[in-house]
Amino acid sequence: MAILIQASHVAYAHGGNQIFTDVTFELKDGDRIAVVGANGTGKSTLFRLLAKELRPQRGDVVHQRGLTLGYLAQHGTLDPDQTPYELVGSLSSDPETLDRELARLETRLTEPLTDDEIAEVLDAYNHTLARLDEGSDRDPGAVIVELLTGLRLSERLWRQPVGLLSGGEKKLVAIARFLFQQPAVLLLDEPDNHLDVEAKAWLEQFLSTYPGVVGLITHDRYMIDRIANEIVELEDGAVQTYPGNYSAFRRQKRERLERQAQLRELQEREYRKLKESAEQLTQWARQNPKFATRAENQRRKQAEERERLDQTPIPILNRRTIDVEFTAERGGSMVLHGDDVSKEYDSHTVFESFDLVIRHGERIGLIGPNGAGKTTLFRLIREEETPTTGFLRLGSSIEVGYFAQEQESLDGTHSPIDLVRRIKPLNEQQALGFLIGFLFDRDDALRPAGELSGGERSRLRIALLILSGANFLLLDEPTNNLDIDSVGALEDALIDFGGTILAISHDRYFLDRVCGRTLALDAGVIRDYPGPYSWVMQNLEKGTPLTRRLAQPVVKPQPTSKRKTARAGG
């Protein structure tokens, strides 16, 4: 297969931090790679190097001549005055405009140019030719509609200025723009952030049949499984590739590390034998000079084996991840009881009337499109808002712990140590020891929380939630900003948690591992499914009737007053 991008012996450092030391790998026709690794290992930096947004300090990144490449950064910018429809279609031009661009580039080639400049002009020329060919094969307007509809961007937003859109809506526009371009190589950095489950499923289907090369950075393990045919793992400044999807990668990596551990044990055993032999011969040489030469040779072999051992990386079968353990008092058997609950804002119905019962020990996933009202339900449970009708009542001795999606619950002016000590009476050293279990070093633990990265803030909020002693956890996208290994540690801890969980998440792998019951919210209706996410989806695809609405709409006299959310006493 043709090599489209070749990275050879690439080294790169930033701010005194050596990110890559000697990276060599290639992207070929048909590749669908997923780049994985802990936060801070350089996944985004690798894509920027491949896209030639960054220059390596050593080594080379070479593109096939005429290569077209689209790179979607995590935090890109869009013209705030243009509409989504205009922005997505801005990469399409009429034939006359493209012909003028070709003529301009042909004129440019007659000028004195360096080899690099000639290559850039030829790349632009070939790209323009490709766009001209594509224009005869597809209707740009139909493609724009297909992309925006598939990504579930509301049609009412298509003609609004992008500056008025939310962060998640802007991300959808950026994705659609790159998919419309159809470059030979598509590099997507966290494209699924802010996407709901249905939009993710559509994007997976689109990328799995994409005619070019796909490079993907994501923490969504289902997305990796369904798209990738090769995993590129970044670890300790180096790259290791594995054929297959994420599930195959986990198995192969474990097997590779186990083989390395066995080899390391054999090497260490051999070294110990050489050391014992050298010590014995040295002792004999003190008594009999004829052993001196043999002792010297054995000490030299011992030194060579020691040097070989020192140059061999120690395989780490279990990388350090978050040290998480949730403990809580049990509370009552009835955790939450809702009766005839509805919610409206002006003339907009968020929920039709429903009843709800959550009992001790249940782990429930709350799913639905963005804007369906999932976070509103959390606000009702936390008594930040009141229902339009009915009530939601917490059971006896129930303490709610809330994990907010956008860190609004975190005081950014205080350090992690200060925030820990606000909740629990610990001295500074005890608080630091607690935070070390969440991958914080001393410097990070003393910095204002507002200066922490997204992943660090997520880890801090998990730490504070644990200290709260809550027995009913409301989790709003708890896996956001966590690397895959840390997500796995969080899942393990939640599975062992002795209380009750209601979790909003677009992470389907998380929902399947943690939640045994599913509430689906869409178009004002909440439906209750007695199983995890994948079980629900499989049965719905088969047409199996699974459930009913939590409550059918009922016609009642208009209430004269709104009943307030209450907490059950005793």
Question: Is the pLDDT score of 358 beyond 70?
Answer: yes
Where is pLDDT greater, at 116 or 158?
158
Average pLDDT over residues 485-502: 85
Closest CA relative to residue 57, chosen from 6, 12, 15, 9: 12
Rounded to the nearest angstrom, the gap between the alpha carbon of residue 44 and the centroid of all alpha carbons in its chain is 12
Q: pLDDT at position 568, please? A: 37
Side by side, the strands of the sheet bearing 363-367 are: 400-403, 472-476, 500-504, 363-367, 517-522, 525-529
Tokens of 474: 């409301």
Phi and psi, residue 407, nearest 5°:
60, 20
Q: State the average pLDDT for the chain.
A: 83
Do residues 323 and 438 lie in contact, with contact meaning Cβ atoms separated by under 8 Å? yes
Q: pLDDT at position 560, please? A: 37
Tokens of 357: 């019962």
Side by side, the strands of the sheet bearing 3-14 are: 17-28, 3-14, 58-63
The Cα 36–Cα 224 span in angstroms is 10
pTM greater than 0.85 (yes/no): no
Which residues make Cβ contacts (< 8 Å) with residue 260, sequence separation at least 6? 313, 315
**Number of helices followed by number of strands (H, E) in the chain:** 18, 19
Top mean pLDDT of 124-138, 387-401, 485-499 is at: 387-401
Q: Do domains 3-245 and 334-545 have the same CATH topology?
A: yes
Which residues make Cβ contacts (< 8 Å) with residue 506, sequence separation at least 6? 192, 195, 196, 197, 200, 367, 477
Identity of the amino acid at 276: E
Q: Where are the domains of the chain?
A: 3-245, 250-311, 334-545
CB atoms within 10 A of CB 142: 9
What is the CA angle 503-507-509, rounded to 5? 105
Where is pLDDT greater, at 232 or 412?
232
- Please report which helix (H) or strand (E) contains residue 68, including its range: none
pLDDT in tens, 287-300: 888 888 888 888 88
Top mean pLDDT of 203-207, 343-347, 513-517 is at: 513-517
With a pLDDT cut of 90, the percent of the chain lying above it is: 29
Average pLDDT over residues 263-289: 83
Do residues 483 and 475 lie in contact, with contact meaning Cβ atoms separated by under 8 Å? no
Q: pLDDT at position 480, please? A: 81
Tokens of 291: 């052993």
Q: pLDDT at position 8, please? A: 94
Question: Is the pLDDT score of 497 beyond 60?
Answer: yes
Tell me the C-alpha to C-alpha distance, in Å, between residue 269 and each of 275, 302, 549: 10, 12, 65
Q: pLDDT at position 569, please? A: 36
With a pLDDT cut of 70, the percent of the chain lying above it is: 88
User: DSSP state, 77?
Assistant: -
Q: pLDDT at position 188, please? A: 94
Tell me the C-alpha to C-alpha distance, in Å, between residue 40 and each of 304, 410, 554: 35, 22, 53
Does the domain spanning 3-245 belong to CATH 3.40.50.460? Answer: no
**Poorest-pLDDT segment among 54-63, 249-258, 377-386, 471-480:** 249-258
Question: Is the pLDDT score of 111 beyond 50?
Answer: yes
Q: What Rg value do the Cα atoms of the chain yield, rounded? A: 29
Identity of the amino acid at 253: K
pLDDT in tens, 507-566: 999 999 999 999 998 888 899 999 999 888 888 776 665 554 454 333 333 333 333 333
Q: pLDDT at position 441, please? A: 84
Does the domain spanning 334-545 belong to CATH 3.40.50.300? Answer: yes
